[in-house]
Each structure stands twice: as structure tokens, then as C-alpha cells.
């Protein structure tokens, strides 16, 4: 459930009509609902907590899904931890008030500097993705004179995820170590003066709408915990990653957080381990929309009808990158007449097409539309391609709204570039 609804003939975010935001901030603009973020986080965590086999989980929100510090603050206030993949994300989580001992640091290519920063910060766990990385972490920890808390990210070789580009749990993907490597590396690390292996982790993909591959991967992870313990090794934490899918309108209905939690409870029954989760999309996707204005409708003599928007692939790249589907809704629907559109942006790429042959209510220049379910992997993947100012973000809470990332001016954009004396 989310808080984007038609009221008095106009789409609102909670108590705020979207046209008010467009008039005040301009378009394109991302709009997030704080109430929806809170609700999604609590539904997810409460579903897990309701199972005694799970206990009190660490729910480390995947910052990459939507990393605005104000969004993180809303979630931190509910008790969220943070799953991060760069020094920048760790800094964002800290700036939002997420305690360091709830921050998980993942990612296949952490640099020496990033590792040093994470260790100095005292993050809860660094998820190690390869043997060279264990060596690097050990080296940096020794230099700093600390003991690094690490978990091994294991690649369970299970196929899952809504698109090949977001499937991460197959042996051919770059993420994590194999089960055999994990056992050897874990044992070695536990004898190292500057490493403290505390657990194992997995994340098999994103936009997963079927629990079966997740369950298969989690069962393998349970087996790994048991075999490590049988070797006399201590395993305190099992991090089961993120990946739960969301309804993008025309796609298979994903399992609910309650279904997911019941499956996890079955798998971990009797294991006695602290569980961690890294949900991103399921928290943020349906808590945000991208609001855009129709520039004009271009009807080609060959018969195609292009709805040209002021939003483009640089603002929301998911359709171009993953063939993703976003429901498109008029902010002020008029009547029931529909027409078939190719919905495009102004960027000079044929890939700047949000959808083709989509029946939509009849629209005209000046109308506002909303791309629904755009709160995750929307603004975080935006760019300034074609020298289009980075899309701003607005947070709504009840009847209030605030700009939480400003649209840069052209002067600001150009001022970032430096002159080379010799040009
Ligand atoms: N954890 C890791 C390591 C990831 O790479 C990702 C996404 O790519 C996530 C968590 C979040 O996934 P999702 O947004 O599908 O929940």
C-alpha cells in the first residue's frame, strides 16, 4: 500500500496535490512519501519479528535504492540500519544518524581508502567478496591496529532476479566467493590477528517475484553455517541480502513480506543466528514517483503517436536499462477516452523511450503525468546527460513538503568545470 491517491480528481502524495509541487519546484521532479517509507519498513521488519525463529533482525536498508539523506533519516528514525556499497553511501548513512553498528559495507571493489574509512567508522560488518579483498582488509586492519569484523558474501549459484542485469547469485556473476572458498577463507580468517569473521552473507538478485530460488539459496546458506560450526568456527550472523520484488503494475504479483518472513522462519528454524536483511526496492520503490510534464504530442504520418515529456532517460533510466515497466498516470485525469502512445523524453537517443504502444488516457501539452513506483533506483541512477540539470527530489509528510535535493542551476553546473590554462 502507498500514499499516492486520487483526491478530488487529482493525484496527491499524502495530503499534497502533485500540481502544487510541480508549480513550486518545476518538473521533472521525484516526489517521495514519508508515510509510505515508514509503512514499508515497518511491514517488512514486523513480518520478520513476528516469527520467534527469526528474533530481532538487523534490517539494513539498501542505500543504493534511494540514498537521499532525508529518506535515510526517515528510515533511521524507525530503526533501520544501512547496507552500503561505497564510502559515499557509508557517509550518507552516518549523516542520516544510522549508528555505525547497524551499517553493513558490501561491494566487489572496495578500495584501500574505503576499507580504512569503514574500519575507522566501526561498521557492523564488512561483507567480503573475494580472496584478494580479505588480504586487503587484513592489511588495512593491521595498519590501523584494529580487528575487522567481516562476513563472507557467498555466491549460492542460484538464478533469480527480474532481469539478467540485476541477477547476482549465479557462479558466472562477479559477486561473492564459492562455498568451498568460503569454508577455507573463513577458517584462515579466524586465525588472523586482525580479522574477526562473524558470519556469512548472500544476495542473489533484485526484483525477485518467486520465493523458490531465495529459499534454495537460504537453505544452502544454512548448510554453510552448520558446516562452519561443525569445524569449530563461530558464526554469529547470517545476512540474507535484499531482492524481494515489488508490484510494477503489470508484472507477476510478488510474494508479500509476510510470505517472505514465513519462508525465512522455516529455513532458519533452530539455527540460532542473528539474521540481517538488506531490502531496498521493497521499501522505496512504491514510496516515490517521478512527476513530469507533457511538452507536446507528436503524431507522425506513419501512425506513431509520441508523447514527448520533459523527463528523460537521464532522470529515470530503468526502462532503457532493464526494459522496466512503470505505470504512467495522469495527475488530473479527464474522462475515459484513451489513445496509444510511445512515451519518450527529449534526449538524443532512441533508447530514451519509456514505453511503446501504451494505451493511456488522452493527454496534451502542459498535462502532468506521474511515473509510479519510481522511488527505488530512480534518482540514484540519474545523470546530467545532455547537460540536463540533475533531477530534484521532494519529500512529503502529511500536508508538508520540502525540496530535499535542489535542481542545480546551469551556472552551478558549469562552475564545476575547471579551465585548463593551455586550452
Ligand atoms: N544488497 C546488495 C548486496 C545488493 O547488491 C542489492 C541490490 O543490488 C541490495 C541489497 C538491494 O536489493 P533490492 O533493492 O532488490 O532489495
Out of 58, 203, 240, 318, give the residue to mutate to test ligand 1, the one with the largest number of ligand atoms within 8 Å of its CB.
Answer: 203
Same domain for 237 and 289, yes or no, is no
pTM equals 0.96
Same domain for 306 and 345, yes or no, is yes
Q: In this model, does residue 64 exceed pLDDT 80? A: yes
List the CATH number of the domain containing 385.
2.40.37.10
Same domain for 231 and 344, yes or no, is no
Residue 421, in any domain of the structure: no
Task: State the Cα–Cα distance between residues 29 and 27, nearest whole angstrom.
Answer: 5
Per-residue pLDDT tens for 211-259? Answer: 999 999 999 999 999 999 999 999 999 999 999 999 887 667 899 999 9
Q: Which residue's alpha carbon is nearest to atom 8 within ligand 1?
A: 206
Per-residue pLDDT tens for 363-388? Answer: 999 999 999 999 999 999 999 999 99
List the CATH number of the domain containing 42.
3.20.20.10
Q: How does strand 58-62 pair with strand 81-84? A: parallel
Whole domain around residue 314: which residue ranges? 4-32+285-415
Same domain for 14 and 42, yes or no, is no
* Residues with a CB atom less than 6 Å from ligand 1: 62, 65, 83, 106, 203, 206, 241-244, 278-282
Per-residue pLDDT tens for 4-36? Answer: 999 999 999 999 999 999 999 999 999 999 999
The HSE-up count of residue 316 (CA atoms within 13 Å, CB side) is 34
Per-residue pLDDT tens for 94-103? Answer: 999 999 999 9
Q: Which residue's alpha carbon is nearest to atom 9 within ligand 1?
A: 242
Tally of CB atoms within 10 A around 181: 16
Distance 203 CA to ligand 1 centre (A): 7
What are the CA-CA distances from residue 212 to residues 124, 161, 170, 263 (Å)? 29, 12, 15, 9
Same domain for 246 and 361, yes or no, is no
Q: What is the DSSP letter of 313?
A: T
Q: Which of 235, 250, 280 is the last residue of a domain?
A: 280
Q: Is 348 a catalytic residue?
A: yes
Same domain for 39 and 183, yes or no, is yes
Out of 93, 151, 280, 374, give the residue to mutate to test ligand 1, the one with the largest number of ligand atoms within 8 Å of its CB.
Answer: 280
Q: In this model, does residue 164 exceed pLDDT 70? A: no
Ligand 1 nearest atom to the CA of residue 201, by list position: 3
Number of domains in the chain: 2
H or E element at residue 125: strand 125-128
Q: Which of 280, 302, 329 is the last residue of a domain?
A: 280
Task: State the Cα–Cα distance between residues 385 and 314, nearest whole angstrom.
Answer: 6
Task: State the Cα–Cα distance between residues 196 and 181, nearest whole angstrom.
Answer: 17
Q: In this model, does residue 334 exceed pLDDT 70? A: yes
Amino acid at each position: 500500500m502507498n500514499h499516492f491517491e486520487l483526491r478530488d480528481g487529482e493525484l496527491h502524495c499524502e495530503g499534497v496535490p502533485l500540481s502544487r509541487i510541480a508549480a513550486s519546484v518545476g518538473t521533472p521532479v521525484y516526489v517521495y512519501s514519508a508515510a509510505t517509507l515508514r509503512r514499508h519498513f515497518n511491514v517488512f521488519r514486523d513480518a520478520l519479528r513476528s516469527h520467534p525463529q527469526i528474533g530481532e533482525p538487523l534490517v539494513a536498508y539498501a542505500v543504493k535504492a534511494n540514498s537521499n539523506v532525508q529518506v535515510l533519516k526517515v528510515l533511521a528514525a524507525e530503526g533501520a540500519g544501512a547496507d552500503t556499497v561505497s564510502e559515499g553511501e557509508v557517509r550518507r548513512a552516518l549523516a542520516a544518524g544510522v549508528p555505525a553498528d547497524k551499517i553493513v559495507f558490501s561491494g566487489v571493489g572496495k578500495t584501500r581508502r574505503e576499507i580504512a574509512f569503514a574500519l575507522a567508522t566501526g561498521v557492523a560488518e564488512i561483507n567480503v567478496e573475494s580472496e584478494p579483498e580479505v588480504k586487503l582488509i587484513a592489511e588495512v586492519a593491521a595498519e590501523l591496529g584494529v580487528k575487522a569484523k567481516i562476513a563472507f558474501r557467498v555466491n549460492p549459484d542460484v538464478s533469480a532476479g527480474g532481469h539478467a542485469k540485476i541477477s547476482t547469485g549465479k557462479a558466472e556473476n562477479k559477486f561473492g566467493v564459492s562455498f568451498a572458498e568460503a569454508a577455507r577463507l573463513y577458517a584462515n580468517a579466524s586465525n588472523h590477528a586482525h580479522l574477526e569473521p562473524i558470519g556469512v552473507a548472500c544476495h542473489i538478485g533484485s526484483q525477485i517475484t518467486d520465493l523458490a530460488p531465495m529459499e534454495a539459496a537460504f537453505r544452502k546458506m544454512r548448510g554453510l553455517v552448520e558446516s562452519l560450526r561443525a569445524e569449530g568456527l563461530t558464526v554469529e550472523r547470517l545476512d540474507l541480502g535484499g531482492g524481494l520484488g515489488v508490484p510494477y503494475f503489470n508484472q507477476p504479483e510478488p510474494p508479500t513480506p509476510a510470505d517472505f518472513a514465513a519462508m525465512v522462519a522455516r529455513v532458519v528454524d533452530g539455527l540460532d543466528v542473528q539474521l540481517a536483511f538488506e531490502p531496498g526496492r521493497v521499501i522505496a520503490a512504491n514510496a516515490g514517483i517521478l512527476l513530469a510534464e507533457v511538452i507536446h504530442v507528436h503524431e507522425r504520418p506513419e501512425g506513431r503517436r509520441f508523447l514527448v515529456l520533459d523527463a528523460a532517460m537521464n532522470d529515470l533510466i530503468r526502462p532503457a536499462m532493464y526494459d522496466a515497466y512503470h505505470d504512467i498516470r495522469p495527475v488530473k485525469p479527464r474522462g475515459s477516452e484513451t489513445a496509444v502512445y510511445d512515451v519518450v523524453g527529449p534526449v538524443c537517443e532512441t533508447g530514451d523511450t519509456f514505453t511503446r504502444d501504451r494505451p493511456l488516457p488522452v493527454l496534451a501539452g502542459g498535462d502532468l503525468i506521474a511515473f509510479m513506483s519510481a522511488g527505488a533506483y530512480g534518482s540514484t541512477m540519474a545523470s546530467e546527460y545532455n547537460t540536463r540539470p540533475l533531477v530534484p527530489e521532494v519529500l512529503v509528510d502529511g500536508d508538508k513538503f520540502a525540496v530535499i535535493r535542489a535542481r542545480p542551476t546551469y551556472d552551478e553546473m558549469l562552475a564545476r568545470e575547471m579551465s585548463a590554462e593551455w586550452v
